[in-house]
Structures are given as structure tokens and as C-alpha cells.
Amino acid sequence: MTYCVGLRLDKGIVFMSDTRTNAGVDNISTVKKMFTWAVPGERMITLLMAGNLATTQAVVSLLDERSKVSEDRDPSILRQPTMFQVAKLVGDTLKEVIATAAPSGPQSDAPFTATIMLGGQIGGGNPTLYLIYPEGNFVEATEDTPFFQIGEMKYGRPILVRAFDPSASFEQAVRLLLVSYDSTIKANLGVDLPLDLQIYDTDSLKIGKEMRIERDDPYYVSVSRGWGVALKAALESLPPFKL
Amino acid sequence: MTYCVGLRLDKGIVFMSDTRTNAGVDNISTVKKMFTWAVPGERMITLLMAGNLATTQAVVSLLDERSKVSEDRDPSILRQPTMFQVAKLVGDTLKEVIATAAPSGPQSDAPFTATIMLGGQIGGGNPTLYLIYPEGNFVEATEDTPFFQIGEMKYGRPILVRAFDPSASFEQAVRLLLVSYDSTIKANLGVDLPLDLQIYDTDSLKIGKEMRIERDDPYYVSVSRGWGVALKAALESLPPFKL
């Protein structure tokens, strides 16, 4: 399993992904699920991947290979004029990879399926966040739905639904994400540290802060410990039930 | 979908179930998922049901019919000597109903599947809580795992994992459950009010408090509204992240 989140803030976009990959509980590994292509001053494109690892790795490899050929026989994400066109290209690549692996063609519940989150900004366009389905189509984050989650999203969703605020600072957004991840990691063996974090500042057209949060990261540990105490205090602050 | 929870406290057992049943989002109804058989002074047995409605209703009808025949050709839950034997009987009945509907026999992912939670106390035995699988077997709540959830359990699990305390009062347990339900209801159309609540007091051998919590219940509304504010305050109480 996997847990990736992208938050579209007024100030920019915050991406977070876990690194646990598993084929059964007895076969686990650490793998990066966040990939970035950037041309400073022109474009910044980040992908978060959930699903079959062979599929997601093949998608990244194809996108990367095609971005390096000089002629444009193969479409490159570095030459697409808009984020919409990048989303279309990533969706087509995903559909192509799934179709190659599954002779019966892509289906939502196919064993080689994957879901991709795409965020970034190109030139004078707006920063955008897309959720790309295994069928190759996609939806965009809007003011009503300003964040996406992919993978094991249920445990960490209530805190996002309740506390996400598009006007939040990057610092507040990271703290919120760590609480959402901590709730998920405590409940599901398929999601685990280390976590990859990337922050994109609107109109900067370059990779912002990038860091890996390890299991013994002092800030993560303080959030994880503090959250249990804070939650109990929050419960106690509610009016008492009377039998 | 469905969301049912049973909490084994030092003081007794608290049961809660929602009432939403649906076959697609365009076909919803309200249905009770909590059923009780009690002989005051001798036994108190409560079932919570999740899964295929035809299956769970058939199980309840069979258990109820068999508890009313005077001869004991059919086993009755009112004549079982222990909660373990009741769990075995309920499991066998569940397996029997699924087998009747699905010619290929019970399977975990069969379309006629259901999961049942069983709690209660008989005579001098301890109050116990069981989780009964569609295959007819079951597990018992222990000190390490003192509560069970069935149905749409993921959204409401983090708060239970963090804040459940077996030494809690019934009042505290109900407040905790309402927060867990509110988180679930806000995220999933398959779980909804009204909620059924039942409280069993250890060694009372009778139904304790029983009530239905409606959508406009003043206490539920105050918890639902207060929780958003309390969660934001809890987040703010955590140490700030520094970029």
C-alpha cells in the first residue's frame, strides 16, 4: 500500500509520500514514490505514485527516457506547453503501461493498476494539482476540493477534512500532514516512514524545499507523541455526555 | 456500508451502530443493525451486523425463530450455557445462511457475506465481545485488543486507537464513539445517523441504557461542531514545523 497527499495552498503546493512498498506483509521494501522534472525558471513538475510498483516505475522510466531524446518523435513532459497537456501525457503513458502488462486492457481493478498525482506549474500558468486514474483520464483540484490523497487514504482523511485551510502557511500544512500520516502509520502496516516532503512556492518555477523525514526525526517524533496527548485533551474539551 | 463498534470497558460493554443501508448511492434506507436477546437475571446477548442485508436479516430471523420453539431440536441462543457457545451458534447460523444463498459455499469475498459482532454475558461468566467471520469462526476481544469495529472502520479508527481507555466511564466512551462516528459520517455516504446506542453494565444481566441518536440530537450536534474547533486547537498545540 501507499499514502500520498498533495495540498493546494494559496502559497503553493505541498507534496508528501511514504516509502513503504510491499507484496504481502512478509515482503516489504523502501522505495521513493515522488519524482520531479524541473527546468528552473520555466517549469516544475512533480508526480506521486500509488499502486503496482512495476507499473509506476515503468511510467517514470518512460517519461524520463522520453524527456531526454532530442528529437520530438516521442512526446516529452519537458516540451508540453501546459500542465493540462502534461496530465494528458502522464495519463496516456500510464494507460499504455497498464495495457502492455494486462492483455485485456486497462480496468479500474486490474492487477497492474496505479493512480498518479501530478502537481506543478509551467510558465505563466497557474500552479495545478491533478489526480490521474489508471484509465488515463484525470481530475483537477479546485477550490471545493483543494487536496488529493491516493493509496491508503481513509485513516488520515478526517483530520484533513476538518483542519485543512488553503490559507495555511507551509509550516502549518506540514504539521497537518504529519498528523495525517501518523494516524495512518499507526493503523496500517502498508504505510511507513521515511516520508518524502516537497514544497513548491507559487511562481518560483523551481523545486522548493525537499527533505526526507526519517523514523527518528525529532520533529516527527514530537508530533507523534504530542498528538496522542492533544487528542485526549481535545476530547475532554467537548461537553460531557449525560446518561 | 455500515459502521458498528463494540468497546469492552472495565465497567461493561458499549455498543454503537449506524442505520444506513444502501445498494448504490441512489438506493438508501434506514435499518436497525443492533439486536438483543435478554433474559433478565440470566443472560444479555447483543449482535451488531455488517454486510449483505438479506444475510444479516436471515441470521437474526433464524436465531429469533429458534429461540422461540419450545422443544430443543433447533439450538437456541437462549439455551446456550456460555457466550462461547452462543458465538459458535451465531457463526454456524451465519455460515448456513451464506451457504444457502451462495451455491459455491461461503467465501470471504462472497457477495452474500456478512460480519457480526457479538457481546454480552451469561450467568457467572465474564462479559465478552466476539467478532464473527462469514466463515463461521470468531475471535474474542482481549486486553490487548479491547474493542472491535466492523464495516467502514478506517476513518474512525485513529481516534479509537489513540484515545480508547478501558477504564473510561460509559459517558466518556459514548463521547469517544460519537467523535469516531462523526469522522466517518463526514467522509463516507455509506454510514449515517440515526445511531443506535446500548450500554451493558457488567453483572447486571439485563439491557442497560438503550437509545437512538437522531440527526438533530443536541448532544451529537454539539460534539460534531465542537470537534472541528477542538481538533484545530489540538493541532495548534503541537510544536511548529520549521522550514
What's the pLDDT score for residue A109? Answer: 55
The residue extents of the domains of chain B are 3-153+189-215
Question: Is the Cα dihedral A235, A239, B2, B3 positive or negative?
Answer: positive
CB atoms within 10 A of CB A133: 17
The secondary structure of B45-81, three-state, reads EEEEEEECHHHHHHHHHHHHHHHHCCCCCCCCCCCCC
Peptide bond into A158 cis (omega under 30): no
Closest CA to A33 of A158, A171, A198, A160: A198
Closest CA to A15 of A130, A94, A158: A130
Identify the contact set of chain A against chain B, taking CB-CB distances under 8 A.
154-159, 161-163, 170-172, 174-176, 178-179, 183-184, 186-187, 199, 209, 219, 222-223, 226-228, 230-235, 237-243
What's the pLDDT score for residue B153? Answer: 96
Does residue A111 have a pLDDT over 80?
no
Does residue A105 have a pLDDT over 90?
no
Listed in order, strand segments (DSSP E) in chain A are: 3-8, 12-17, 20-22, 28-30, 34-39, 43-51, 114-122, 128-132, 138-140, 147-151, 195-201, 210-213
Residue of A231, A232, A242 to mutate when probing chain B, most B C-beta within 10 A: A231
- Closest residue on chain A to B154 (Cα): A155
Helix (H) or strand (E) holding A60: helix A53-68
Q: Do B199 and A243 touch (CB under 8 A)?
A: yes
Q: Which residues contact B125 (CB under 8 A, 6 or more apart)?
A: B82, B83
Closest CA to A137 of A64, A84, A80: A84
Q: Do B233 and A228 touch (CB under 8 A)?
A: no
Mean pLDDT (whole number) for A147-153: 97
Question: Is the Cα dihedral A184, A188, A189, A190 positive or negative?
Answer: negative
Does residue B57 have a pLDDT over 70?
yes
Q: Do A238 and B174 touch (CB under 8 A)?
A: no
Asked if residue B114 lies in contact with residue B138, where contact means CB atoms within 8 angstroms, the answer is no
Residue B231, min C-alpha distance to chain A (Å):
6
Residue A157, min C-alpha distance to chain B (Å):
7
Helix (H) or strand (E) holding A225: helix A218-237
| R_g over Cα of chain A | 19
What's the pLDDT score for residue B103? Answer: 66
Q: Which residues of A touch B222 (CB under 8 A)?
A: 238-239
Closest CA to A218 of B234, B161, B239: B239
Does residue B109 have a pLDDT over 60?
no
Distances (CA, A) of A42 to A20, A38, A76, A85, A88: 32, 8, 15, 15, 19
Distances (CA, A) of B197 to A126, B19, B170, B194: 49, 11, 11, 10
Mean pLDDT (whole number) for A75-96: 95
The pLDDT mean for chain A works out to: 94
Does residue A101 have a pLDDT over 90?
no
Asked if residue A95 lies in contact with residue A107, where contact means CB atoms within 8 angstroms, the answer is no
CB atoms within 10 A of CB A191: 26
Residue B160, min C-alpha distance to chain A (Å):
10
Q: How many interchain CB pairs under 8 A, A with B? A: 132
CATH class of the domain defined by A3-237: alpha beta
Distances (CA, A) of B61 to A123, B97, B156, B169: 66, 11, 30, 34
Q: Which residues of A touch B226 (CB under 8 A)?
A: 237-239
Does residue A74 have a pLDDT over 80?
no
Closest CA to B117 of B163, B49, B182, B167: B49
Architecture per CATH, domain B3-153+189-215, reads as 4-Layer Sandwich (3.60)
Does residue B131 have a pLDDT over 90?
yes
Q: Do B162 and A231 touch (CB under 8 A)?
A: yes
Does residue B20 have a pLDDT over 90?
yes
CA atoms within 13 A on the CB side of B161: 17
Nearest Cβ partner for A241 among B171, B234, B235: B171
Asked if residue A219 lies in contact with residue A203, where contact means CB atoms within 8 angstroms, the answer is no
The pLDDT mean for chain B works out to: 93
Does residue B150 have a pLDDT over 80?
yes
Q: What is the pLDDT of residues B163-204, one digit of tens each?
A: 999 999 999 999 999 999 999 999 999 999 999 999 999 999
| R_g over Cα of chain B | 19
Confidence band, pLDDT 50/70/90 cuts, at residue B16: very high
Helix intervals (H) in chain B: 53-68, 83-101, 157-163, 170-187, 218-237
Mean pLDDT (whole number) for A193-210: 97
Q: Do A226 and B239 touch (CB under 8 A)?
A: yes
Q: Do A187 and B234 touch (CB under 8 A)?
A: no
Q: Do B186 and A161 touch (CB under 8 A)?
A: yes
Closest CA to B87 of B9, B30, B141, B42: B141
Secondary structure tally for chain A: helices H, strands E: 5, 12
Residue of A7, A154, A159, A186 to mutate when probing chain B, most B C-beta within 10 A: A154
Higher-pLDDT residue of B24 and A114 is A114
What's the pLDDT score for residue A126? Answer: 96
